[in-house]
């Protein structure tokens, strides 16, 4: 890349917007993480069974999905700054309610509110992140997702000692809510009030290019469904790691409880570290190679974990699985947001919604398969989905590259 091809240095406003976006991703991870670490205590307090809790978690997921579909178009209409800040305040305030619930109906209402805030913030902050990335003119999306993971880890680090000292969940979550509301209000001031000058949208997929009909219309629907399907497939694989990695070591390899927990830890650390590195890799190699080789590495990693008769081999496999998946999904969000810069929120709502469905479906699908086959054999499904993701990475090929290739072909033909 020559000096003249490099994007202009980011303005002070754009740098502030990037820091503010980091803050909201971290806030989302931290608030959700604080709810998750309190689930056992809240389950006991409300007197719900495991099966009832599972149903209530589906209620949370349904509320989040509904909120995503509303928040996307609303973000395009009102501006990402307004919706991101509002959703950040909502999820922070809503996290109090589960800690105060005393029965299943109160907990259900609390989880609806929490789901609405989570879904709205998820879509709006990703849409804003696409605008920040477009202003920078280089990949920055994966680091935002890494900070979400850091927020989740911070929640575990804060929540575990408080639970050990038997601090009431209502008190803890009230403090979390106050801190979150203040943080959302302060960070919201740094978000972009107006769209940054548009650099070349390097993440726009090839299917977003003109159809060649001369009308300039783009087959956004087809490209969006392709991106959504790939996001669904790879987030399903991610969900498998969250719910089944520890059980895999425990049940298949007969590891101790403490050792089995290392599988989830290895995956999570690898996922977080990989996302911090993925932007630089994407800038060097492009989003197509990030997904192609990342998904292929994930397939190799999970196959290794499933086939290994040794705990060390399985841990190595789960680590490779996390590294491989780490950079994939952020590329799909970037591509969806660049299909139509005037409707990035709506596009991300659709792609993110399908991804969220995959995240919820993954554990359930593997659980169903274990009725007919061993757990490690059931992992063949996510392995196949990773292979499909690697084979389909071409959908992320930048439209600009496609146009340049077409010009080169036409020039050769004329010559």
Contacts of 399 by beta carbon, 8 Å cutoff, 6+ apart: 201, 204, 205, 206, 208, 209
Question: Which pair of tokens denotes residue 280?
Answer: 């630089």
Does the pTM of the predicted model rise above 0.85? no
Which residue's structure tokens are 């509110």?
A: 113
Which residue's structure tokens are 């307004």?
A: 82
pLDDT tens across 230-253, in order? 999 999 999 888 878 888 888 889
pLDDT tens across 12-23, in order? 889 999 999 999
Question: Which pair of tokens denotes residue 126?
Answer: 């990703």
pLDDT tens across 49-92, in order? 877 887 888 888 899 999 999 999 999 898 899 999 999 999 99
Q: Tell me the pLDDT band of 217, cut-offs 50, 70 and 90.
A: very low
Among 37-41, 134-138, 322-326, 354-358, which stretch is predicted with the lowest mean pLDDT? 37-41
Question: Which pair of tokens denotes residue 94?
Answer: 């809503």
Measured at the CA of 273, the angle between CA 271 and CA 277, to 5 degrees, comes to: 110
pLDDT tens across 266-306, in order? 898 999 999 999 999 999 999 999 999 999 999 999 999 99
Q: What pLDDT score was predicted for residue 216?
A: 40
Q: Return the C-alpha torsion angle 49, 53, 55, 60, nearest 10.
A: 160
Measured at the CA of 266, the angle between CA 122 and CA 365, to 5 degrees, comes to: 60
Q: What pLDDT score was predicted for residue 197?
A: 54
Greatest CA separation for the chain: 79
Q: Is it the case that residue 377 has pLDDT exceeding 50?
A: yes
Q: What pLDDT score was predicted for residue 196?
A: 55
Q: Is it the case that residue 228 has pLDDT exceeding 80?
A: yes
Backbone dihedral region for residue 334 (phi beyond 0: left; psi -120 to 50: alpha; all else: beta): alpha
Q: What pLDDT score was predicted for residue 150?
A: 92
Q: Is it the case that residue 212 has pLDDT exceeding 60?
A: no
Which residue's structure tokens are 């101790």?
A: 256
């Amino acid at each position: 890349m020559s000096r003249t091809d490099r994007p202009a240095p980011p303005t002070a406003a754009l740098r502030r917007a990037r820091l503010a976006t980091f803050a909201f991703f971290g806030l989302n991870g931290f608030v959700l993480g604080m709810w998750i670490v309190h689930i056992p205590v809240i389950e006991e307090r409300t007197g719900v069974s495991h099966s009832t809790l599972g149903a209530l978690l589906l209620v949370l997921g349904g509320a989040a999905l509904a909120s995503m579909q509303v928040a996307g178009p609303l973000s395009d209409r009102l501006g990402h700054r307004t919706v991101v800040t509002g959703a950040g305040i909502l999820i922070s305030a809503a996290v109090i309610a589960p800690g105060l619930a005393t029965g299943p109906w109160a907990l259900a209402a609390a989880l609806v509110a929490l789901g609405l805030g989570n879904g709205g913030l998820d879509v709006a902050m990703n849409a804003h992140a696409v605008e920040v990335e477009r202003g920078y003119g280089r990949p920055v999306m994966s680091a935002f997702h890494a900070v979400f993971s850091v927020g989740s880890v911070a929640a575990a680090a804060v929540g575990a000692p408080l639970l050990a000292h038997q601090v009431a969940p209502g008190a803890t979550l009230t403090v979390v809510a106050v801190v979150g509301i203040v943080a959302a209000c302060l960070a919201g001031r740094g978000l972009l009030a107006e769209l940054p000058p548009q650099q070349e949208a390097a993440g726009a997929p090839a299917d977003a290019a003109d159809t060649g009909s001369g009308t300039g219309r783009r087959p956004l629907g087809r490209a969006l469904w392709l991106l959504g399907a790939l996001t669904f497939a790879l987030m399903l694989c991610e969900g498998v790691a969250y719910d089944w990695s520890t059980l895999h070591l425990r049940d298949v390899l007969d590891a101790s409880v403490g050792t089995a927990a290392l599988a989830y830890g290895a995956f999570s650390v690898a996922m977080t570290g990989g996302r911090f590195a993925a932007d630089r890799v994407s800038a060097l190699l492009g989003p197509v190679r990030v997904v192609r080789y990342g998904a292929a590495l994930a397939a190799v990693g999970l196959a290794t974990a499933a086939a290994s008769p040794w705990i060390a081999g399985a841990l190595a496999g789960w680590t490779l699985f996390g590294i491989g998946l780490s950079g994939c999904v952020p590329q799909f969000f970037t591509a969806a947001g660049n299909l139509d810069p005037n409707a990035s929120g709506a596009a991300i709502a659709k792609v993110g919604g399908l991804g969220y469905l995959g995240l919820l479906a993954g554990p359930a699908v593997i659980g169903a398969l274990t009725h007919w086959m061993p757990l490690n054999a059931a992992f063949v499904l996510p392995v196949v989905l990773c292979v499909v993701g690697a084979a389909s990475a071409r959908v992320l090929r930048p439209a600009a590259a496609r146009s340049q290739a077409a010009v080169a072909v036409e020039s050769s033909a004329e010559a």
